[in-house]
Amino acid sequence: LVGIGGEVKAYMTLPLLREGAYLRNTGRIILKQIGPPVVPLLRPLLKDKDDDIRVFALELISEIRTCDFAEDIEHIVRTDPNANACSAAARALGRVGGDVALPVLRKALADTEWVCISALESLAERRDYQAIPEITALLKHASETIRCSAVEALGQLASEEAADALVRSLPLAGALERSVIVKNLVRIGVTPSMGEAYDVLVEILRTGDREEKLIAMRGLCGLKDRRAIPIILDEAGALESSEPDAEEWISAAMEGLSRFGCDEALIDAVGSPQVRHMGKVIAIEVLAALECVQAIPVLVEVMRGDLREVRRASVRALGELREETARLTLRESIQDRDGHVRRTAASAGPKAAQYSSSTSSGDMSGAWFRRASI
């Protein structure tokens, strides 16, 4: 049916919305994937006497994201007696209503809890900065759910006015709200200086979803609290390269850790038994990018250890550094017991040799690198 598509097939599928859960959900999948041809057929359903049918129609409009009868949806937001239908209408209106619908959504902030939450989500998605005063007022609402939803909306709006409102509310917030506020301040680009921010961000980093972990990691790097270094490395080191967004996450972690500079905690993490081996690899790559010659003794030590990927990373890092100890250790690595390490040392050698020759035109001590590589 999806492959055939068209208005007729959509019309014949609509009755499935009145069947049991399995057929109803199957019908919704078909209608969603048929897409825009379905939308005109949903308009009569917005006046259906069955509350669920009105909700299903509104949810399909939200998912398809197109509609030329937004005024009917506005009417539902203002007058429908069913809270679920009003909530679904507020969500749909945010996606298809245009700017003329924004005043309706702002008024919906005074409605019941779920309608208010849907209106908050829509106003944030539409980037309605004029709604910030009304949203800020909800930070004092009796419902914790609404207060947290208002915080999330201000975080998405990400303006200076929104950040100021969140900072002002932070001292009076409870534990849950404080966590949400800190996360959204970091999302905006403001790192809270409060003493509890570190603990809040660490908790989010350990227990949040992927997006929340990324926000918390950036916040911890913004605080530049060196206690966070092994924790960030441990979280980044736990990622598998096949995981979605793993490359982006690790790249962000490396960028954030580089803000600490050649910190002792970053160097110590390379030799720490508490840090996962992939976390050590990340730390080594950061140290190499920063050209931290202070890390050479630790790099030499782990290069002689047992973890292959850590050893190879240390060899690559030593190849980036211009110190005599690094070059001598690379010479040792050319004869390593592990072929992977030997190949890494050979490919790292020419760059180190180039560094060596650049320091003194008559110094030929790097020539063995070229021979080994060949």
Give per-residue pLDDT as tens, 246-264. 788 888 888 989 999 999 9
Q: How far is CA 35 from CA 9, 57, 62, 123, in A?
A: 11, 13, 11, 24
User: Percent helix, strand and coil across the chain, each rounded to 5?
Assistant: 75, 0, 25
pLDDT in tens, 40-68: 999 999 999 999 999 999 999 999 999 99
What's this model's pTM, rounded to 2 decimal places? Answer: 0.70
> CA 191 to CA 218: how far, in whole Å?
9
Mean pLDDT over all residues of the chain?
Answer: 84
pLDDT for residue 138: 96
pLDDT for residue 327: 66
Q: How many CB atoms lie within 10 A of CB 154?
A: 30
pLDDT at 337 over 80: no
Of 169, 230, 174, the closest CA to residue 202 belongs to 230
| 3-12, 113-122, 240-249, 335-344: least confidently modelled range | 335-344
Is-contact 134 149, C-beta < 8 A? no
